[in-house]
Amino acid sequence: MKKIPQVWSDALYWLGYNLAGIIIPVVISILAVCAMKLTFSLSAITNGGQFAIYSAAMSITTIYVIAKPNPKRLPFTEIFGLLCLLTFAGAVALFTFSILYVNGVDIATWVVEWPSIALFVFCAGVTFFAVLNDNRRTEMSQMELQHIKQSRLDSLNEDFDKIG
pLDDT digits (tens, 9 = 90+) for 101-146: 888 888 888 888 888 889 999 999 999 999 888 888 777 666 665 7
Residue 74 reports pLDDT greater than 70: yes
Identity at 7, one-letter amino acid code: V
Structural domain includes residue 162: no
* pLDDT exceeds 90 at position 68: no
- The answer to whether residue 89 is domain-embedded is yes
* Residues whose CB falls within 8 Å of the CB of residue 12, separated by 6 or more in sequence, listed in order: 4
Q: What percent of the chain has pLDDT over 90?
A: 16
- Give the pLDDT confidence score for residue 123 in this predicted structure: 92
**pTM of the predicted model as reported, rounded to 2 decimal places:** 0.75
Residues with Cβ within 8 Å of 90's Cβ and at least 6 positions away in sequence, in order, are 55, 115, 119
**Residue 32 lies inside a defined structural domain of this protein:** yes
Handedness of CA 138, 143, 144, 145 (dihedral sign): positive
| Residue 152 located in a structural domain | no
d(CA 47, CA 97): 9
The answer as to whether 62 is a domain residue is yes
Torsion angle of the four alpha carbons 69, 72, 73, 75, in this order, in degrees rounded to the nearest 10: -130
Residues 6+ apart with CB under 8 A from 101: 47, 107, 109, 112
Integer-rounded Cα radius of gyration of the chain: 23
> Would you place residue 51 in the very low, low, confident or very high pLDDT band (cuts 50, 70, 90)?
confident
Contacts of 156 (CB under 8 A, 6+ apart): none
Q: Is residue 163 in some structural domain?
A: no
Q: Rounded CA gap, 129 and 35, in Å? A: 38
Quote the number of domains for the chain: 1
Supply the pLDDT for residue 80: 87
Q: Quote the mean pLDDT of the chain.
A: 84
Is 151 part of any domain?
A: no
Q: Assess if residue 164 is contained within a domain.
A: no
Give residue 25's domain range.
6-138
